[in-house]
Amino acid sequence: MRSGTLKILLAASVALNLFAAAAAATLLVTRDRVENHAEAQRRPRSAPLADVLADMDPEVGGRVRSALRASALAARPDFDEARRARREAVGLTNSADFDPAEVGALLERSRQAEIRGRARLEADAVALLDTLELADRKAVSRILTRRGSRNGRDKAPETRAPS
């Protein structure tokens, strides 16, 4: 082989090795973050409330659990409607009959239904919290945090016991 061909092959080999090294480094750096995110998605959402209720007086914990369940069941039709309207909007965007005004109306209907459901849950939670003693109210108040936040902006601030 000629000297020029060898230089080109060497340069190509170096470039390929650099690309492979960069890919491996990226994989190593992002793997932990992906695994942590996947683990967070697998964690059950009800565990913190279950832990709070386990530490309460059984009578109060049962009353809190019953009230929250009744509130969730009452709000369920609103959240079902929100999901149904969103599915319709997505279906319409994927069809030949795409109508931007109708998709916008369906998304608005979905948003309003979700707001109604959330308002019901929050109003019921506040009414429940009003019936609790301070220590139980502090423990149960975590239900007002928005669990769906991905970036942590909606998390409630940590509360510390007075020293």
The pLDDT-based confidence of 55 (bands split at 50, 70, 90) is: confident
Query: Under 8 Å CB-to-CB from 144, ≥6 apart: which residues?
Result: 122, 125, 156
Same domain, 21 and 100: no
Per-residue pLDDT, 126:
93
At 28-49, the pLDDT tens digits run 888 888 888 888 777 655 557 7
Residue ranges making up the domain that contains 15: 1-43
Of these ranges, 47-56, 125-134, 135-144, the one predicted with the greatest mean pLDDT is 125-134
Query: Under 8 Å CB-to-CB from 98, ≥6 apart: which residues?
Result: 92
Same domain, 57 and 134: yes
CA angle 70, 71, 74 (to 5 degrees): 85
Same domain, 137 and 62: yes
Same domain, 39 and 53: no
Count of domains forming the chain: 2
CA quadruple 153, 143, 47, 32: dihedral, nearest 10: 0
Same domain, 54 and 38: no
Kindly state the DSSP code that residue 90 receives in the 8-state scheme.
H
Per-residue pLDDT, 109:
96
